[in-house]
Amino acid sequence: MPGLIVMKFGGTSVADAERIKRAAGRIVEKREAGHQVVAVLSARGKTTDELITMAEEVSAAPDPREMDMLLSTGERISCALCAMAINDLGHRAISLTGSQAGIVTDESHTKALILDVRAERIRGALEEDNIVLVAGFQGVSRDARNVTTLGRGGSDTSAVAVAAALGAEVCEIYTDVAGVYSADPRIVPNARKLETVSFEEMLEMAASGAGVLQLRSVEYARNHGVRIHCRSSFSEEPGTVVLAEGETMEQPLITAVTHSDREARVTLTGVPDAPGAAARIFGALAQANVNVDMIVQNEPASGGGQAEISFTVPREDLRVARAALEPLVGEAFAELSSYEEMGKVSIVGAGMRSHPGVAAKVFSVLAREGVNIDMISTSPIKISCVIDRDRVEQAVRALHSAFELSGEDTILVEDTFRASPTS
């Protein structure tokens, strides 16, 4: 018997009446195939941005609790409209707010964490033969008093959390791209759609700029064993399945090249070379909810017990980061400078574990292209380089080509070394 499926539709998939009806049609197809269906919806197209603009028009620093009250309306609108469209197709549908769906979070407004999904009401509605639509991106605080939101892209996490709570067969994430690619097809036209990718690779890819899935949702899925299928809401083709590592068939050396062109670098000079200075700096940033990516610390040759710390943050967090560090000038560091025009290019692949030659090949490819590497960070399955923003596309193309990611064949470790004279 077909099982329970969670389907998640992103903002572009519910952007207008036509698309909402199309999503309703996809949902009904699954129901008619015998599945029980829960669909998690994002706000329509630009709705969230419009609501944020409204807030900025009335207040310089909108209150976070009120921001959540405001932003949570977008997904409710999508769900109510989609429920109407499904009812029109002759099926019963009911829309639930995050609160009604039992998505319980902590109290950190605008960046709440899901603590629990109390899915009794969803289950009850499914048993009464309803298709259930759940407003993504939102929940209710523990004491059931306040609406919370999960932060940008939180609808993916809502969907995975609901899938986990219900023990769904699969969590299908519908977007306007057909799956996960070996690189952004807008930059690399012959990029390859990946049939499968491991959680670990997907985590690294989400963290390093691949916009298909939100990082938190992948973590949640890995921790709760939820199978994710990323696919297009505009075609019937299968997309990319995210699996536990043991389940994947092939283990290519490199899976994909990802990139971001929205990085900013902050440099702090005159940091006392004493315990506690770095802790105060990064403590203040954490307090302000700034995601710090790479960190480099140098002790200048001139010495004097003064160090220099550089780190990168998403460009949109730069203003908040500067504000958070302002009070520490003259204490934890002497001077702050920042540069907004940074980007990042990364290669990700479960097969590169314990193969340091890959890093060498990355550096030689970028050197050949004349791309200067500003900062480097590595993990067992990822190498990231911070570079100038206007060199990002060139770097992505060069790496994708050097690692032959468009082909059908996977590159063996030996090939890599042969192709890499500096290793």
Summarize as ranges the residues that interact with its own copies (CB under 8 A).
16-17, 20-21, 24, 51, 54-55, 57-63, 65-67, 69-70, 72-73, 76-77, 79-85, 87-88, 93-95, 97, 100, 121, 145, 147
Q: Which residues lie below 8 Å from residue 364, measured CB to CB, with a gap of 6+?
A: 420, 421, 422
Tokens of 119: 């899915």
Three-state SS string across the chain, please? CCCEEEEEECHHHHCCHHHHHHHHHHHHHHHHCCCEEEEEECCCCCHHHHHHHHHHHHCCCCCHHHHHHHHCHHHHHHHHHHHHHHHHCCCCEEEECCCCCCEEECCCCCCCCEEEECCHHHHHHHHCCCEEEEECCEEEECCCCCEEECCCCHHHHHHHHHHHHHCCCEEEEEECCCCCECCCCCCCCCCCECCEEEHHHHHHHHHCCCCCCCHHHHHHHHHHCCCEEEEECCCCCCCEEEECHHHCCCCCCCCEEEEEEEEEEEEEEEEECCCCHHHHHHHHHHHCCCCCCCEEEECCCCCCCEEEEEEEEEHHHHHHHHHHHHHHECCCECEEEEEEEEEEEEEECHHHCCCCHHHHHHHHHHHHCCCCCCEEEEECCEEEEEEEHHHHHHHHHHHHHHCCCCCCCCCCHHHHHHHCCCC
Min dist. Cβ of residue 69 to its own copies (A): 4
90/246 with CB nearer its own copies? 90
Min dist. Cβ of residue 165 to its own copies (A): 19
Min dist. Cβ of residue 253 to its own copies (A): 47
Min dist. Cβ of residue 121 to its own copies (A): 8
Min dist. Cβ of residue 95 to its own copies (A): 5
76/382 with CB nearer its own copies? 76
20/180 with CB nearer its own copies? 20
Tokens of 115: 């603590």
124/305 with CB nearer its own copies? 124
64/283 with CB nearer its own copies? 64
Min dist. Cβ of residue 59 to its own copies (A): 4
Min dist. Cβ of residue 127 to its own copies (A): 15
92/193 with CB nearer its own copies? 92
20/313 with CB nearer its own copies? 20
85/290 with CB nearer its own copies? 85
Min dist. Cβ of residue 314 to its own copies (A): 24
Min dist. Cβ of residue 91 to its own copies (A): 11
Q: Which amino acid is at 120?
A: E
90/275 with CB nearer its own copies? 90
